[in-house]
Amino acid sequence: MITGDASYIKKINRSLIISKIIEHGMISRADLAKITGLNKATISVQAAELLAEELIIETQQEHKNLGRRPIMLSINHHAGYSLGIDLDKRVITFTLSDLSGSPLDSRSIEIAASDYNQIIELLAEQINHYKQRCTHAPYGLIGVVIGIHGIVNNDESIYFVPYHRWHNKNMKADLQNETGINIYIENNANLCSFAEIVYKHYQSENLLSVSLYSGIGLGIMVNSKLLKGCDGYAGEIGHMIIVPDGLPCGCGNLGCWEQYASESSFMKQLSKNHHKENVTYDEIQHWLLEQDPVTSKLMKDYIKFLSYGLNNIINLYNPEILVINSELLRLYPNALDEIKAHLTSTVGQYRKLQISEFGKNACSMGACALGIKNFLEINELCLAIDESKMQKEFISQ
């Protein structure tokens, strides 16, 4: 049985109240009491404190019935801002969101080098830039979450980043010293799966998200919590061997899945076959629409190898929802049907298979959401992007 003193119980109640206000967008005190099971006095006290802290605001709901309009509570979207960063091998993406999780600003910076100190300097410069932009808000920049395309320990230190060849780096401490902002470090695939749960599938008890970009990572959400393993290394599914004695991988093994089914491996092979460097997504889309035989053949092979790994994942985890995060597959109209045609096992079962709507924004959006969750100190978070408010009402300094 869980026990605690009055302050602990108050903290639990506060977390529950904030979660439900965010989930419903706008809710009255009376409805909040019904949903949470807390008495009206507790709701009133907590609401008064949150109003005084400027974390929530009061509004009156429009209605045509006679009588007094109910006073509604909602999160103060502009009380603070969360910065999500996707640190990939060649590009760093920065996304700023308000407390509702709506993105207000997103941009990318290309990087040519892997020098750790240079990248720390670049990150610190950008974080301080966003910090200054957010000074008008009561809580300013509430936190920064960085998605790493590599192995992250449970203590948020970086164990290994294959492309940059970083070993045992404490980016969290290094950036906090440079910026004075709360920094959180997480694996990119975990953040992608967190974005799917928070924005799209918050009712799911069992969701997997496979990210297919510079490598392949698996984010595992069970009962709304990330399954990370004893050290934090769970989900490195790209290093599952699917071709014995196959292509060499940066991890030291041969025949790893990501050598055959990551987008970087596909684009490398496509560039070679088309005798050009660094093909773009626009070029791939054009070749697919034109039914270019080289591109079509490579795409068929790519989906075959992708399906091998997905079949293994399904057999291992029996997911309720399996989300594939891939810009490449978003360009290919028949992708899902062709993948499903390869998943013919009568043993492996899943309920829903889909391609992520977020694409390459999944990691940075998940990072923004995790920053909000950490700042508000809540157990559950359910967000909805308000498209009409995106790119509006943010004061640029």
Tens digit of each residue's pLDDT (9 = 90 or more) over 204-248: 889 999 999 889 999 999 987 899 999 988 999 999 999 999 999
The per-residue pLDDT for 119 is: 96
The fraction of the chain above a pLDDT of 90, given in percent, is: 80
Per-residue confidence band for 63, with pLDDT thresholds at 50, 70 and 90: low
What mean pLDDT is predicted for residues 313-338? 94
Q: What is the pLDDT of residue 89?
A: 86
What is the β-pairing status of strands 56-60 and 71-75?
antiparallel
Number of other CB atoms surrounding residue 233 within 10 Å: 15
Residue ranges of the domains in the chain? 6-75, 79-192+361-389, 204-356
DSSP 182: -
In this predicted structure, the answer to whether residue 388 has a pLDDT above a threshold of 60 is no
Q: Where are the alpha helices (DSSP H) in 88-232?
A: 116-133, 171-179, 188-199
Say which amino acid occupies 72.
M
Q: Which residues have a Cβ under 8 Å from the Cβ of 206 and sit 6 or more positions away?
A: 221, 222, 317, 318, 319, 320, 321
Out of 3.90.1150.10, 3.40.50.300, 3.30.420.40, 3.20.20.390, which CATH number does the structure's domain 79-192+361-389 have?
3.30.420.40
CB-based contact 89:214 (threshold 8 Å): yes
Whole-structure pTM value: 0.90
Residue 124 has pLDDT above 90, yes or no: yes
State residue 66's pLDDT score.
Answer: 59
Residues linked to residue 185 through DSSP beta bridges, in sequence order: 146
Per-residue b or e along 113-151, where b marks 16 or more CB atoms closer than 10 Å to that residue's CB: eeebeebbeebbebbeebbebbeebebbbbbbbbbbbbb
Residue 262 has pLDDT above 60, yes or no: yes
Give the per-residue pLDDT at 60.
Answer: 77
Please state, for a pLDDT cut of 70, what percent of the chain lies above it: 94
Is 204-356 the same fold as 6-75?
no
Residue 113 is predicted with a pLDDT of: 86
Under DSSP, is residue 278 helix (H, G, I), strand (E, B) or coil?
Answer: coil
Asked whether residue 54 carries a pLDDT value surpassing 50, the answer given is yes
In this predicted structure, the answer to whether residue 134 has a pLDDT above a threshold of 70 is: yes
pLDDT of residue 397: 34
What top-level class would CATH report for the domain 6-75? mainly alpha
pLDDT band (50, 70, 90) for residue 64: low
Q: What is the pLDDT of residue 4?
A: 60
Averaged pLDDT of the chain = 91
Residue 151: beta bridge partners? 160
pLDDT at 393: 37
pLDDT band at 329 (very low <50, low <70, confident <90, very high): very high
Whether residue 22 is predicted with pLDDT greater than 80 in this model: the reply is: yes
Question: Is it the case that residue 395 has pLDDT exceeding 70?
Answer: no
* DSSP-assigned letter for residue 28: E
Confidence (pLDDT) at 225: 87
- Per-residue pLDDT band at 266 (split at 50, 70, 90): very high
For the cut 70, the answer to whether the pLDDT of residue 50 exceeds it is yes
Structure token digits, residue 71: 């006073």
End-to-end CA distance of the chain: 50
Please give the Cα distance from 306 to 324 (Å, whole number): 10
Which CATH number, 3.30.420.40, 3.40.50.1820, 3.30.2290.10, 3.40.50.800, labels domain 204-356? 3.30.420.40
- Residue 285's alpha-carbon distances to 126, 226, 247, 267, 386, in angstroms, are 33, 34, 27, 12, 29
Of 4-13, 139-148, 360-369, the one with minimum mean pLDDT is 4-13
Q: What is the mean pLDDT of residues 133-155?
A: 96
Express each pLDDT in 292-322 by its tens digit: 999 999 999 999 999 999 999 999 999 999 9
